[in-house]
Structure formats: C-alpha cells, structure tokens
Chains A and B, each alone.
Chain A
Amino acid sequence: MPDFFRRFVVAPPARAGDAVVFAARAVREAFRPPFELRETARQLYEIGWLSVPLIAAAGFAVGIVLSMHTRASLQRFGAEALIPAALTLALVRETGPLVVGLLVSGRVGAGVGAELGAMKVTEQVDALEASAVDSFKFLVVTRMVACVVAMPILTTVMNFTGIVGGWVAETAISGMGFRTYFEAAFSIVQFTDYLPGTLKTTVFGFIIAITASYLGLRTSHGTQGVGRSATRSVVLASMLMIAANVVLVRLIFFVFPETAE
C-alpha cells in the first residue's frame, strides 16, 4: 500500500515539478553565455533541415486533401471561387501548425528521447561533464533553441507546399493557373491569419524539445529504458502540445480579436 501511494500519488506531481524546474532552467540558460553556437547549428541541421522533406511531402498531401474537402463543402453554396482562400485560411491558421507539431514530435521527440537516453545509459553524459562541459547547455539548450527556431520555418514550408498541393488538386479539375490561384488565396487571407498560428509553433517546439530531453536524460534501465524514453517522449510531447494548443488558440483570439471574426 505505501508503495502504491508512492508510485501513484506522490511521484507524479513530484516529477511534474521536476520537469517544470528543468524547463525553466533551459530558458534561463539559453540567455546566459557561453553559447554553444556550433552545436546549436548542428542541431538546427538535424532537427530542422532534415525534417524538410517530411514536412514538404506531408504539406503537399494535406493540401490535396484539404482542397477536396473545401471543394465538396463550397460547391454546395456555389462558392467555388472561394476554394483557394478557404483552403489557405484553414491551412495557415490551424492545420499547418498542428500537423507540423505532430510530425515533429514524432520525428524529433523519438530521436532526441532515444539519443539522449542512450548517451545517458552509456555514460556519455557523464563523460561530457568529466570533460568540463556543461552537459545541460550542450545537450538540452542547443536542442531547445534549434527546435524553437526550426518550427515556424517548417510551418511556413508546410503552408507553402500545402497551397501548392491545393493548387494541383484544383488545376486538375478546373485548369486554374498557379498565379490566379495564389492571388485568389491571398485576396482574403491576411498576415494576422498567418502570424499567430506560425508563431505558436515556437511553443510547440519548446514543448517537444524539453519533453524529449527531460525524459531522455532521466533514462535508466539500459536499452529497454532507451526505447521507453523514446516512446514516452512522442506520446507525452504530442499530448502536451495538443493541450497547449487549446490554450494558445484561446489566447490568440484574445490578443488578435480580428482573427475571431
């Protein structure tokens, strides 16, 4: 019974508290020199650049699907002319950011969770410390910064390939030119539609990097623990991200009331 009490009543809030302290430390350390620029650049490449093919391909496919749905809906009202704008609006405001968030929590969450987990159990994290390197800065802060910077860029990539995908689906049916499509798309969509949705992905990036780093560095129990950390990182990062999204959407409507109209 006391064991049950410890595992399910005391431990979870204690761990959550520990994780919050971890996250706060990452933010604080990010602004404190020395900055690990080389390693941050390497992580930007790993996390950002290497995600581009996945994001671009997914964006294209999402664009096609969205186009088919918007067409089906808008045809009923005889409003086919609005298809490009409706698609772009749905994409840049919510679909793009959310899909990028989920894809990155899969790819990067698992990658970082497993990599740091393996480094932890093979004592490479200790080896960093013993070499007089601040392992937290070197491993966690660099990944966090890379993720936060990469997310809005990846979202922009997805938005763009999504619009291209939408146009491909459209032109297959109506033969519309890309320019016409693009202009129709941005006749209604404003910068205030694009900006908040894209910026909120920095928060997603923060959540993903911190969750995966935290679980990775707390890995124990050898190889099995590494696998578990990777899985948990993906699950927890996506859940936290989706939950945070609810709050963020609310917040955006509050800060940019015009987007709620």
Chain B
Amino acid sequence: MSGEVVPIRLERVRKRFGRLKVLDDVSLDMPRGEATVVLGRSGTGKSVMLRHIVGLMAPDSGRVLVLGQDLTRLSPPALAAVRRQVGFLFQNAALFDSLTVGENVAFPLRRHTRLPEPEVRARAQDKLALVGLARDYEKMPAALSGGMRKRAGLARAMALDPAILLVDEPSAGLDPITSEEIDDLLVRVKEELGTTLVVVTHNIPSARRIGDTLVFLYEGRVLERGDAARLERSGHPIVRQFLASEAGG
C-alpha cells in the first residue's frame, strides 16, 4: 500500500482571493519519480499551486495530499515532518539575507540532521558545486546576481535530498547555457535519487527536456495534460499557440 501512495495528489482544489478565482476545481496526480512541468500564462496560479503543495496556502475546498497525508488536517509537527521531505525553490529564491549563501544551504542540514559540523559544510559545499556556485559559499545573498540567487535557492531546496522537489521557474534570469545545465541537473536528480519533481517554467525547450508530463493551467483549470507530443496535438488553440510561440525564443 505505502509503496503505491501517489506523492502529490490534488483533489478538486479551489482557491480564491476575494473575487479572483485562482484555482478552480483542480485535480492532479503527480507520480513518483516523475517530473511534472506546469505551464501557463503569468498570473494563472502556478505559484499558488506549488504553495498549496508545501502547505503555505490552504485550499478553500478540496484536498491536498502529499506523501499520502492530507495537509489541511495535519497538526503542526506532522506538517513539519512532511515538509522535511519536500524541497521548495521559491520564484524569488527567498534566501535568508542575514546568512551567507553557504549557510543558507547548510540551514536545513543544521535544523534537521545531527551531522557534525564539517560534514554539514561539506554537503552544503557539494550542493553549491552542483549548481555552479562552488566558490560562493562565503558570499552574502545581496552580492549575488538574480540567476545566482536562484541557483543558491535550488541548492538549499536540494540540501536534504528531499523525496519531492518543487521548483518555481528555475531558469528565470539564467543564460541559455546555465539554464540547460540546471535542466540536466534536475533530470539527474530525478533519475539518480528517484525524486518526484514539479517544475513551473515559461521556458518551452526546458519543459520538453525535463518534463515527463506537462500540465497546462488556464483560468484556474487544468486545460491539458500529457507529454509534449500530446500537448502539441491539443484541441485547445491556446495550448498550441503557447507551445509554438515560446518554442523559438
């Protein structure tokens, strides 16, 4: 039974802010060890959806199940236990700006493991190297470029080798080469560690490279889901237009 639990399941999730319906009856399963890429125009609720999956937002109705647990019904300690298995890269990176880049990555390790100090530093250093920031351990976040901050945020999200990794626009602010490197990293993490990935992106080539399943959100609903080929043959002109328009640039 526990082997078959879907890592992330949204059941009829609705969320509104005042009069604005952001998620309108969204149901989705994200299978274990697969990468789900979430596409959609700016302001359609992609980030809001990710926030539901770490329990930073609660649905007005419906359920969010992560690793088999209904987040809306969990006690704070139980929620924390689920969150330890989820890595989250915020759209704005959200680094702790009073800590160095390396200490940001070390933060989850210090909080949630009993590793000795040298081991903590070594692991944080490893994760930074993975995202190409090997020489930036001692820098303060304010001294990084936008793209570097994003990568540092990714290193922090991966610090505990979480079972689930949620990534909000990993390639925003990155040049095409670095962006490709990050895509490769995500694919490697998925394949080597069996991590369940959810990636929000506007970058279509990147979506094709990473995504086992692509989900297209439109006006609070899942308009289409499937692999890239399926979305290209979609009956919805908006989906086809979206794939075509951003594919070139």
Contact = CB atoms under 8 A, between A and B. Distances in A.
A132 interface: yes
A127 B83 contact: no
Interface in B43-89: 51, 54-56, 76, 80-81, 83-84, 86, 88
A129 B111 contact: no
B154 to A, nearest CB: 13
B108 interface: yes
A134 interface: yes
Contact of A124 (B84, B97, B108): B97
Given A124-B96, A124-B97, A126-B56, A131 B90 contact: no
A123 interface: yes
A130 B97 contact: no
Interface in A107-121: 118
Interface in A224-257: none
A127 B90 contact: yes
B107 interface: yes
A122 B108 CA distance: 19
Contacts of A132: 80-81, 83-84, 108, 111-112
B80 A130 contact: no
A131 B81 contact: no
Nearest to A138: B111
A130 B54 contact: yes
A27 interface: no
Given A123-B92, A124-B97, A126-B94, A131 B76 contact: no
Nearest to A126: B56
Interface in B107-121: 107-108, 111-112
B97 A122 contact: yes
B107 A126 contact: no
A126 B90 contact: yes
Contacts of B97: 118, 122, 124
In this complex, the interface size class of chain A, counting residues with CB under 8 Å from chain B, is: 10 to 19
B94 A123 contact: yes
Nearest to B88: A130
Contacts of B51: 126
Given A132-B111, A132-B112, A133-B111, A127 B94 contact: yes
Nearest to B56: A126
Nearest 8 pairs of A and B residues by beta carbon? A132-B83, A127-B94, A123-B94, A132-B80, A130-B88, A132-B84, A130-B54, A131-B108
Interface of B: 51, 54-56, 76, 80-81, 83-84, 86, 88, 90, 92, 94-97, 107-108, 111-112, 156
Interface of A: 118, 122-124, 126-134
Given A123-B90, A131-B108, 18 more contacts: A122-B92, A122-B94, A123-B92, A124-B95, A124-B96, A126-B51, A126-B90, A127-B88, A127-B94, A128-B96, A129-B54, A129-B56, A130-B56, A130-B86, A131-B111, A132-B111, A133-B111, A134-B80
20 contacts: A118-B97, A122-B92, A123-B90, A124-B94, A124-B95, A126-B94, A127-B88, A127-B95, A128-B96, A129-B56, A129-B83, A130-B54, A130-B83, A130-B86, A131-B108, A132-B108, A132-B112, A133-B80, A133-B111, A134-B80
